[in-house]
Structure 1
Amino acid sequence: MAREYVGEQKLLRDVHHDVKNNLQVLISLLNLEGRFDTSTKKEIIEKSGERIRSMALSHEKVYESEDIAHVNLNSFLTSFVRDMNALSSQPNITTNIDAEDIEVKLDVSIPLGLIINEILSNTAKHAFPNNEEGNLNISLKKDESDAILIISDDGVGMPEDVGPGNSLGMTIIYSLAGQINADLTLDKENGTKYIIKFPIEQ
């Protein structure tokens, strides 16, 4: 009984630690927003709401799972894309998901979810101007001890001079990629393609 109590106490401490870290990440994102972004207050609130939703979804997937220490990224991606307002309001974009069942810890899924949110928000906003039709492809595969997430579109592409330092979205993406020890490759030819390779166990 004492051993079970100690285990429960450790689990509660881990949960509180995760919540604290998540709030710190959110505060950092809001601070960046204030320094970089020139959007209207309404747009900033909407962006912040999407980021909070992505963090909440990670917790939701943990609670739904029999393994409360891990998030199934296949389920996470499917739910994320289905419920993302920025994409659901763009019927001209066809989204394709091909994801394997890969389990990661909550402190990996949180920053990963925020990365995905930034990429998909940028795609919905910029890749297909004037409601042009196009495709958004999301692939998640296991490569030995790593996972490889590829998000690509066949839209108008990204200007060559856009990158971390002069773009809030790119700054967030690269910063969060560092948090999960990810190698990030960005291909700007024939649309935009992000290749994110990260260790599954961290």
Structure 2
Amino acid sequence: MNGLDQGFLERLPFAANRRPLAYAVAVAISILCLALRYAIDGLIPPGYPYLTFFPAVILTAFLFGRGPGFVAALTCGFGAWLFFIPPVGTLNLDLGTALPLIFYVLVVAIDILLVHWMQRAYLRLLDERRHSARLAERTSLLFRELQHRVSNNLQVVAALLSLQKRDVADPQARAALEEAARRLALIGKIHRQLHDPNGSQIGIGPFLRQLGADLIDASGKPGIICSVEAEEAIALDPDAAVPVALIVAESMANAIEHGFADREDGHIAVRLQRHQSQVELVISDNGAGLPENFDIAGNNSLGLRIATMLARQLGGRFELFDDRGAVARLVLPV
């Protein structure tokens, strides 16, 4: 149903606040149909006294409501009885006359009530739709506000950790606090961007491009280029979006921090593609590569341990190896 049809139906019945006008129009429609019946009387065979009256009653009930519909039914019925039911012009009432009149009364009463009930059901449906739309709008607003507050709170906690590290003398503790603050700030940003009020799946391609741009901008090395090649049809469940984004962010941060430690330029390539029942996400760089005899299982890096743990929680695996630069690969079930 287009907007024009819906707007027309919403205004029915017409003249709801001017009932005398509605009843007058009902009588006028009945008289017009009576004149039409006279005009075609010689063109139709005998036995159809109500031929033009049924449409008049239904149209009147549809446009002006139940009351005017009954007025039209009464006017049309009287006209048919007087002018088209033999003996014509006598208002004679016998068995032969009563049966057509009873049939007419039953048919028009059912028609009017059906039109009335359908219009009431439609109006109730419209009210429920409006109510649902208001609830959906309110829910969406509350959800956005909640997301905004959660993200802001995470950012505040990250800022507090950054302030706290100033009072810590131990270098390792300071580094740990700084790393925790960075991750909390990143989670807050991811949380704001990825979640949808409708709980729908996340198109990960555009997010990866924004994430790469943000990480490079935060690194202070604008010469590093991040390219993303992603199948746009691939989407992530909201519950998996944040862990995947954290793994990608950790891999990109390692490439920037270690692969390009002594360089101001470089290239990070992110590739997301589907292989039958699996989704493969590869983050590679052309940096210094991994240390000799690198073993991810024996590495003490907190970030790598977090990435490996998150991948296992998602039912996948995380790998890190050297191929003319570091290559991080996350494999997840579809």
2:253 is the counterpart of 1:121 = yes
Query: Residues 161 and 143 from structure 1, CA distance in 2 versus in 1: closer, same or farther, beyond 3 angstroms?
Result: closer
Greater helix fraction, Structure 1 or Structure 2: 2
Deviation of residue 151 (structure 1)?
Answer: 0.2
Does the CA-based 8 Å contact 2:286-2:326 persist in structure 1?
Answer: yes
Unaligned stretches of 5+ residues in structure 2 = 1-127, 162-169
Aligned AA for 2:284? S
Does the CA-based 8 Å contact 1:82-1:88 persist in structure 2?
Answer: no
CA distance in 1, matches of 2:282, 2:290: 16
2:241 is the counterpart of 1:71 = no
Deviation of residue 136 (structure 1)?
Answer: 0.8
Q: Report the number of matched residues.
A: 173
Per the alignment, residue 140 of structure 1 pairs with: 272
Deviations 1:58-85 (A, max 9, x none): 433345x574232221122122112226
Per the alignment, residue 190 of structure 1 pairs with: 324
Greater strand fraction, Structure 1 or Structure 2: 1
2:303 is the counterpart of 1:163 = no
Does the CA-based 8 Å contact 1:98-1:140 persist in structure 2?
Answer: yes
CA distance in 1, matches of 2:257, 2:194: 30
Aligned AA for 1:144? Q
Deviations 1:108-150 (A, max 9, x none): 1111111112111111111023225321111111223321100
CA distance in 2, matches of 1:66, 1:98: 27
Query: Residues 145 and 59 from structure 1, CA distance in 2 versus in 1: closer, same or farther, beyond 3 angstroms?
Result: farther
Percentage of pairs with the same residue: 27
CA distance in 2, matches of 1:150, 1:157: 15
Q: Which protein shows a greater Rg?
A: 2
Structure 1 length-normalised TM: 0.70
Query: Residues 86 and 175 from structure 1, CA distance in 2 versus in 1: closer, same or farther, beyond 3 angstroms?
Result: farther
CA distance in 1, matches of 2:194, 2:202: 5
CA distance in 2, matches of 1:56, 1:100: 26
SS at structure 2 position matched to 1:95? strand
Per the alignment, residue 187 of structure 2 pairs with: 55
Query: Residues 62 and 44 from structure 1, CA distance in 2 versus in 1: closer, same or farther, beyond 3 angstroms?
Result: same
- Superposed CA RMSD: 3.3
Aligned AA for 2:333? P
Per the alignment, residue 33 of structure 1 pairs with: none
Does the CA-based 8 Å contact 1:61-1:71 persist in structure 2?
Answer: no
Deviation of residue 90 (structure 1)?
Answer: 1.3
SS at structure 1 position matched to 2:262? helix
Aligned AA for 1:199? P
Query: Residues 189 and 82 from structure 1, CA distance in 2 versus in 1: closer, same or farther, beyond 3 angstroms?
Result: closer
Per the alignment, residue 30 of structure 2 pairs with: none
Deviation of residue 46 (structure 1)?
Answer: 4.4
CA distance in 2, matches of 1:52, 1:155: 27
CA distance in 2, matches of 1:110, 1:62: 7
Aligned AA for 2:289? G
Deviation of residue 178 (structure 1)?
Answer: 0.6
Per the alignment, residue 175 of structure 1 pairs with: 309
CA distance in 2, matches of 1:105, 1:167: 28
CA distance in 2, matches of 1:144, 1:80: 26
Does the CA-based 8 Å contact 2:199-2:238 persist in structure 1?
Answer: no
CA distance in 1, matches of 2:185, 2:279: 23
Does the CA-based 8 Å contact 2:221-2:265 persist in structure 1?
Answer: no
